[in-house]
Structure 1
């Protein structure tokens, strides 16, 4: 079977699925992308150029939609070029977030299409209007509704879709729920597991180890969507209560969601200007290599994960798989994986003082809270392990491709 993956930044959410399918006898897997972030065994990359930018004319609500259409056109042309070179897909698996899936069924009307249904935007009830520090006008609300246009157009045309969590599936209109299976991306629990002997080396050469008062915070980029403002505002209270605490802040200075601060180049600089703290024990590591990041989680005495009602981060579930004591925001996507007092601790997203008190309260009672760590890892092993996720994906692929007519829909 010829299988075509489409994601603007290879491999995206398909870093495990594409190689698994490529390893199966008789399959040829091609990955259509703008940028190859990482090569995958057995997977052939095929790139297409970024479309030319819009001239900015027309209504500003439509700029994202026009950009999506342009990406959809580029992907359609690339698919036609692949066909001319001899590769005709029997199945397409695509992320629709930037528009590349818009015209797949128009150039390949008989080819099954599975979409990665990551999130559907809503004008009310999710991230929009959640944070009182972010302006939310009628213009914001209306523009958000239009932002769904390429996603819903793609979803209408597909044969099936997959959302990583029930909460993310529920963000989509009910009319499409029958199309959507719930399959988390999957955690390699054999690799992402407690490391009792791990150490994390600070820039000054000191090595942090399990048992030290280490507080960790992780986000791909340090920004409000992932509670960075709240965490930074908690630091003075943490340092007042536990001046010996070592605070590791892991993440980059770009913007994944939302926008840059108006007065500073990035949110790290903005919050460092706002919040007074002792820099000797606050360590901004930037982005880390994967194993160094896991070592940081391994030595953590308290791991903080905060998020708007938005896409659940891999890092939250990875921290649980590492057996970290996760202190997380009491928001919708988090409540799906963490039950307060059972496999983690939930706190108010905005209450920096309460977050600080919770973090410092757990530092001296690590042994008493070991059951929460154990339960966190057990949750991931039971419900979010990579092997189980890939098996569920395999059933969806076989069902949609018509390889197993007995395959059943995976219930939410």
Structure 2
């Protein structure tokens, strides 16, 4: 069979399944991604042919602000269509097209490959309530924001209509989509490679000239970017009380200073600098380590030696990092928000706190750090949850392959 994967940041969520299909000699796999994101990236597999496209431009300044994203998606879809036409001219006819529809890349693929089965990765459907919008009173949504959301979903609604089937990684994320499409969307997570992401009693790492080993009192926090959607404001504001309650603990914060989700801070600043400035005179910064983004092996070592791992999120897309922290045997202190509650049961395989209550967060973190031996069962249960529900090799990848090829 011939497979075409389309993702602006290829392979994105398709890493494991595209590689698995490429390892089967009876299949041919092609990927399409944005050229700028593909540049310098190591090959996923020698049998995967990856083609790039270059978006010409986004929306014009004159475009109504509700539909600027949509115009940009249409333009992006046109560039992907040009690449798809070239593939067709060369004789490539996909049996399955698997795409992430959020950026408009798959708009015209059903017209170019009408005989293929088209499957969308439906990650998140925006709504004016019950999700990230309007959740945080520190960042209130306006009536204009709520109206704009209806247009924001246009790209996905068109893809839902044209797709033959879909995938969503969690039940809660699937539930955000209109009910009439639920039967079209199968819940299958990408999976966690628990052979790689596993506890390591000998884990150690050097950070900022300090040497850390498993057993040290280390509090960890991870986000792709340090932003309110992932609770960075709550966590940084909790640091002084955490340090008061855990005077010999170190805090390691992994993440970049860009913005992945939500509005950007004032020009010339970052959310990290904003919230650090708030507590700059009451926190001991010699015991806080901001690493920025890390190579995967270093990120994993930090999870493996974590005493307590903090994961906060708005009701939004569930991060891979939380599941990987559980697979590594961390005690996760997570926000009591729907995507987290789907995975973590309080006091069984993790601990849950109110997203906004930084005092509860600090005291819960201290309770774990200062009594590590009492939380060994939670560590074991956390990993077992991932083995039972999200393991790549025994659960998620086999289910996804069956869904794709039977």
TM-score range with shorter-chain normalisation?
A: over 0.9
- CA separation in 1, counterparts of 2:268 and 2:383? 39
User: Which residue in 2 is equivalent to 1:409?
Assistant: none
CA change 1:332–1:161 in 2 (3 A) is same
Name stretches of at least 5 consecutive residues in structure 1 with no aligned partner. 399-403, 405-412
Is residue 261 of structure 2 the alignment partner of residue 245 of structure 1?
no
How does 1:109-258 map onto structure 2 within 5 Å?
Answer: 109-204=114-209, 206-258=210-262
Work out the CA distance in 1 between the residues paired with 2:287 and 2:251: 6
Q: Secondary structure at the match of 2:136?
A: coil
1:48 and 2:53 are equivalent in the alignment? yes
Residue of structure 2 in register with 1:373 after alignment: 379
Mapping for residues 259-278 of structure 1, pairs under 5 Å? 259-262=263-266, 264-276=268-280, 277-278=283-284
Q: TM-score, normalised by structure 1?
A: 0.95
Show the counterpart of 1:318: 324
Deviation of the 1:71 alpha carbon: 1.0
Tell me how far 1:354 sits from its aligned partner: 1.1
Contact 2:70 2:155 (8 Å CA) reproduced: yes
Correspondence for 2:403: 396
Q: 1:183-227 CA deviation, whole Å, 9 max, x = no partner?
A: 1111010110000000121212x2112221110000011000000
> What is the rounded CA distance, in whole Å, between the counterparts of 1:39 and 1:144 in structure 2?
37
CA contact (8 A) 1:11 1:38 kept: no
Partner-residue secondary structure (3-state), 1:15: helix
Q: Which aligned runs of 4 or more in structure 1 are off by greater than 3 angstroms?
A: none
Structure 1 residues 38 and 12 mapped into 2: Cα distance closer, same or farther (>3 Å)?
A: farther
- Supply the distance in 1 between the matched residues of 2:58 and 2:354 (Cα, whole angstroms): 41
Determine the C-alpha separation between the residues in 2 that align with 1:176 and 1:38. Answer: 36
Structure 1 range deviating more: 334-343 or 47-56 = 47-56
Secondary structure, counterpart of 2:333 in structure 1: strand
Q: In structure 1, the residue corresponding to 2:92 is in which secondary structure? A: coil
After superposition, the C-alpha distances for 1:15-52 in whole angstroms (9 at most, x for unaligned) are 11101111112211110111324421121111111132
Aligned to 1:408: none
Specify the SS of the correspondent of 2:125. Answer: coil
What are the Cα deviations for residues 257-288 of structure 1, in whole angstroms up to 9, with x where unaligned? 01221265211111111123111000001111
Greater Cα offset, 288-297 or 320-329? 288-297
SS of match in other structure, 2:374? coil
Superposed, 1:355-370 pairs within 5 Å as 355-370=361-376
Aligned partner of residue 310 in structure 1, secondary structure: coil
Partner of 2:11: 11
Measured on the aligned residues, the alpha-carbon RMSD in Å equals: 1.1
SS in 1 for 2:157: helix
Distance 2:286 2:57 in 1: 47
> Could you say which residue in structure 1 is the equivalent of 2:91?
86
Partners in 2 of 1:349 and 1:263 — Cα distance?
27
Aligned length: 398
Gaps of 5+ in 2: none
